[in-house]
Amino acid sequence: MKSYSIDRIDRDILALLQQNADVPLSDIAEQVGLTQTPCWRRIQRLEQQGLISRRVALLDAQKLGLAMTVFVQVKAGRHDGSWLDAFARHASAFDEVVEFYRMSGEYDYMLKVQVTDMASFDHFYKRLVNGIELSDVTSSFAMEQIKYDTALPLHHL
């Protein structure tokens, strides 16, 4: 993994953009102590280096009717490259899967699934397990979201 040289100004720019990617360039420049042109060049460099991978709008799942968050843990049906690739393609194809990780420990994969209700989860589950050979699947339903943040910690930079 490539290491990048990040100074205080870059870190402050990243922190500001994580809070609001729509903040005007003039405001960012003022807050980090630069004029607009060098600030813009830094943002461009951070994007070119891939440190800023994309800018998106974060939607409110509850207000959109996606009130149920489910964490699905999966044990692999087989442990060979072709199965692993097939499962990654299969699980990634579901819009309901908003996060997908290969894990260490008892289960091989964890999926974060966002659905409207139990019936929609059941529909998702049946499509997931019928599409590919799995060894074991377990689901945990989030009862309350205590913390949700998309901002990455930057204090180590």
Question: Per residue in 105-114, pLDDT tens?
Answer: 999 999 999 9
DSSP conformational letter for 108: S
Fold agreement (8-48, 68-141): no
Which residue did the predictor score with more confidence, 1 or 51?
51
Rounded Cα distance, 113 and 99, in Å: 7
pLDDT of residue 5: 84
In this prediction, residues 16-38 reach a mean pLDDT of 97
Q: What is the DSSP letter of 60?
A: -
Mean pLDDT of 130-157: 94
Asked if 70 and 141 count as a contact pair (C-beta separation under 8 A), the reply is: yes
Kindly list the domain boundaries of the chain, sorted by start residue: 8-48, 68-141
76-97 pLDDT tens trace: 988 899 999 999 999 999 999 9
CATH of domain 68-141: 3.30.70.920
Q: Which strands sit side by side in the sheet containing 68-76, from one edge to the other?
A: 97-102, 109-115, 68-76, 134-141
Question: Is residue 147 scored above 90 in pLDDT?
Answer: yes
Q: Is the pLDDT of residue 66 over 90?
A: yes
* 118, pLDDT greater than 90: yes
Residues 6+ apart with CB under 8 A from 60: none
Q: Residue 43 — φ and ψ, nearest 5°?
A: -60, -45
Q: What's the mean pLDDT in 125-147?
A: 95
43 contacts: CB under 8 Å, gap ≥ 6:
13, 17, 25, 28, 52
Q: Which residues contact 126 (CB under 8 A, 6 or more apart)?
A: none
Look up the CATH architecture of domain 8-48: Orthogonal Bundle (1.10)
pTM of the model: 0.88
- pLDDT (average), residues 45-57: 95
Tell whether the model's pLDDT for residue 1 goes beyond 80: no
Residue 115 confidence (pLDDT) above 70: yes
Closest C-alpha among 88, 94, 93, 86 to residue 113: 94
**Which band of pLDDT confidence, cut at 50, 70 and 90, is reported for residue 31?**
very high
Give me the half-sphere count of Cα atoms (radius 13 Å) on the Cβ side of residue 102. Answer: 7
**The pLDDT value given to residue 141:** 98
